[in-house]
Amino acid sequence: MTGISVETKYFPSSGASSPALALQVTCLVDSYMLWIGVTEGLEENASGAILQGHLGKDWAVSMPPWKTLPATGSQLLRSSSSDLALSIAKRLARRFGKQIFLSVDIPVLMGDDSGILVRVEKALMDTLREMEKK
């Protein structure tokens, strides 16, 4: 992949208790910068959710494994005790072999009652698989 590109994706709600998700993917050289968060808007307004989101709510970076070393990473910013972005970033870096910058903007109150964390990770994995095919 050459150059830098930015794409916005929308993942509709999977039920009454699970909000829609908006994802912005910035493809860099051998790395991805991802922001994912909840949105109450429609698909046409997904980019508005990104503009209203918080990049530093839970933001981490991870490097892919090298030889026998595991994927490494670090929290860049966080507003809670959650290390959600870091753990997902490490899994993505390991899976795709690229540096991952990941910001997860999910309200703390949501927890995983609605299965939102599973939906977040699935949306990220599916999107990166699609990007890798290009």
Residue (of 130, 76, 82) closest to 102 by Cα position: 76
Q: Phi and psi dihedrals of 116, rounded to 5?
A: -65, -35
Local structure of 59: helix, strand or coil: strand
Report the chain's mean pLDDT, rounded to a whole number: 84
CB-based burial label for 29 (10 Å; 0-12, 13-18, 19+):
exposed
User: How far apart (Å, rounded) are the C-alpha atoms in residues 134 and 125?
Assistant: 15
35-60: average pLDDT: 78
26-33: average pLDDT: 93
Q: Is 40 left (phi over 0), alpha (psi -120 to 50) or beta?
A: alpha
Q: Is the pLDDT of residue 109 over 60?
A: no
* pLDDT band at residue 108 using 50, 70 and 90 as cut-offs: low
Domains with residue ranges and CATH for the chain:
5-133 (3.30.230.100)
User: How far apart (Å, rounded) are the C-alpha atoms in residues 132 and 134?
Assistant: 5
Q: Which residue has the higher pLDDT, 17 or 28?
A: 28
pLDDT of amino acid 92: 96
57-72: average pLDDT: 89
